[in-house]
Amino acid sequence: MGFFLLIVGLAVLGFGLYNMMAAKRVLAAPFKKTGELAKNPVSEDPKGAMSTEGKVIPPAVTLLSPASKQPCLAYELKIERLYEKTETTQDGTKTVKGTETLDTIKGGAVFGLDDGSGPFNIDVSKGADFDNMKDGFKKELNGHSGSSNIQFGEYSYDVPVIGSDKGWTTGFKATEKYVPVEGNLFVLGKLEGASLVKPGWRSMMTSAKGREGLLGALEKRKKFSFIGGGIASLLSIPVIIMTPAADPNALGASCPSTMTDTRVRCTDTVTDDDTFTWTVTKPGKYDLTVYAPAKKVSFDPGLMVTDSTGAELVKVAGGVGGNAMASVDVKAGTYKVKVYLADNFKVKGGYSYEFEIAAQGGAAPAVADQIADDKELPAEDVAAAPEGDVAPEAAEPAPAKPSKKKKK
C-alpha cells in the first residue's frame, strides 16, 4: 500500500511539473499583437518562439472534417477494429474482446488571427494541441464487412489485410473530433516567414481560453497536483516504514535470480524458460525440484543444470502435470539452473510453478551451519554446536495430481 501511494504521489507530482513547465514556456515566449507580427515578423527568441492571440479568421481554403464534413481549423478521425479471439492460459481457454486502432487521420488548415490590429497567418497543417475540439462523428458498425471498403459518414476507408492471429473481426468504430472555425485563440509556435508554425519536435500550443486564461488553468492544475502529490508521497513514508519487509527467503516468496546452496520453496512463472544462477559454497548432494501446480492446462516442467563451462550435469522432465526432480553431486562453484517447457506448449501469461533446492534427502542444513550463516559467529563457536542438534527433516510435500493437458 505504501509503495502504491508513493507511485500515485510521484505520478501526480509529475503532472504538476508538466503544467509548471508548460506555463514557463508560455511566459518565456515573446508575445506580440497580430498586426505587429504582420508588419515585422521577427522574434527575439533565439529559437524563433512567438505567441499571439486574436479572433479566428476562416481559412482561405475551407477545410472539412472527413466524416461529418464540418468546416474546421483541424480534425482527427480515429478508425478502430473490434475483435474477439481465443486465448489459452493455464486456467483454461476463454474468448476475450478487444479493440485495435487501424488508423488515425489528422488534418489542419492555414487560417488567420486578428486582435483588431491586423491579421496574421497561423499554420496548423503539421499539427497542434487544441483544448476546444468538438465531437463531430461517432459510429460503430457491427459485424465483419465482406468488402475491403467501409463507409463512415462521408469518409470511405479501405480496410487493411488483417492476419488470422489477431482474432476475428466483430465490427469497426470511427470517432471524429474537430476544431470549429469560431471564437478567439491563443497560439504559441515558431515564427517562420509570415506564419506561426509547429516548432519542430515540440508541440504547437493553442487555447480558446486566451493567454491569461491558459496561464491560470496551468497554475491551478500545477497547484493542486503539487499539493495532492505531495500529500500522497508524504503519507506513503510512514506506511512503508511501518510495513514489515518481506523476507526474500521465506517459504512461497518469489524466486530470486541468484541462489546460494539450499533454497526453500519459492514461486515463479515461466513463459519459455527461466534461468537462475546457483552458487554452491558447501559441496555435496542436492535435490532440485520443480513443482507443477494442478491447473486446467497443466505444465510439463523441464529442469536442467549446467556448470560454469556450460557442460550439462542433469536434464529431466516431469511429464504433463508432474514434478521435475533431479539430484546432483556438485563441488563448490557457480552453476546455471534452467526451468523450461519440456513439451514447448505455451500459454498466455505462462505457467506458475514452485522451485526448491534441498540437501540430499530433503534435510535442512545443520543448526550450526544456520547459526554461522545467519549470525556470522566465530568459527570456534560454530564448532562447539552439538553434532546431533540438527533441524528435523522437512515433510516432503505430496506431488500435484497429474492432469491431462488440453491442447487446442
**pLDDT of 174-205, one tens digit each?**
999 999 999 999 999 999 989 999 998 899 99
**CATH number at 258-383:** 2.60.120.380
pTM for this structure? 0.74
Instruction: Determine if residue 119 is left, alpha or beta; phi over 0 gives left, psi from -120 to 50 gives alpha, anything else beta.
Output: beta
**Is residue 396 pLDDT above 70, yes or no?**
no
E-strand stretches of 31-91:
49-57, 63-64, 71-89
pLDDT in the model for residue 361: 56
Kindly state the cell numbers that stand for 153.
459518414
Kindly state the cell numbers that stand for 140.
460503430
Distance, CA of 349 to CA of 169 (rounded, Å): 23
pLDDT in tens, 265-278: 999 999 999 999 99
> Is there a contact between 253 and 267 (Cβ–Cβ < 8 Å)?
yes
Distance, CA of 10 to CA of 229 (rounded, Å): 6
Q: What does the chain come to in residues?
A: 408
> Is there a contact between 394 and 370 (Cβ–Cβ < 8 Å)?
no
pLDDT in the model for residue 146: 60
**Is residue 136 pLDDT above 60, yes or no?**
yes
**Is residue 404 pLDDT above 80, yes or no?**
no
Question: For 400, which DSSP code?
Answer: P
Residue type, 385: A
SS3 165: helix
Angle CA(166)–CA(76)–CA(197) in degrees, nearest 5?
A: 130
Question: For 164, which DSSP code?
Answer: G
pLDDT in the model for residue 395: 39
pLDDT in tens, 200-221: 889 999 999 999 999 999 999 9
Say if strands 119-123 and 195-197 run parallel, antiparallel, or are unpaired: parallel
SS3 345: coil
- Residue 147 pLDDT level (bands cut at 50, 70, 90): low
pLDDT in tens, 64-97: 999 999 999 999 999 999 999 999 999 999 999 9
Concatenating the DSSP letter of every residue in 286-297 gives EEEEEE----SS
Distance, CA of 41 to CA of 171 (rounded, Å): 50
Distance, CA of 333 to CA of 307 (rounded, Å): 8
> Is there a contact between 161 and 175 (Cβ–Cβ < 8 Å)?
no
Collect all residues with Cβ–Cβ distance below 8 Å to 388 and sequence separation of at least 6.
none
Phi, psi (deg, nearest 5) at residue 363? -70, 145
pLDDT in the model for residue 399: 45
pLDDT, average across residues 355-361: 88
* Distance (Å) of CA 97 to CA 81, 83, 277: 11, 6, 40
> Is there a contact between 109 and 125 (Cβ–Cβ < 8 Å)?
yes
* CATH 2.60.120.380 domain residues, the chain: 258-383
Angle subtended by helix axes 2-28 and 210-242, to nearest 10: 160
Phi, psi (deg, nearest 5) at residue 376? 55, 50
Concatenating the DSSP letter of every residue in 243-267 gives SPPP-TTSTTPBPPSEEES-EEEEE
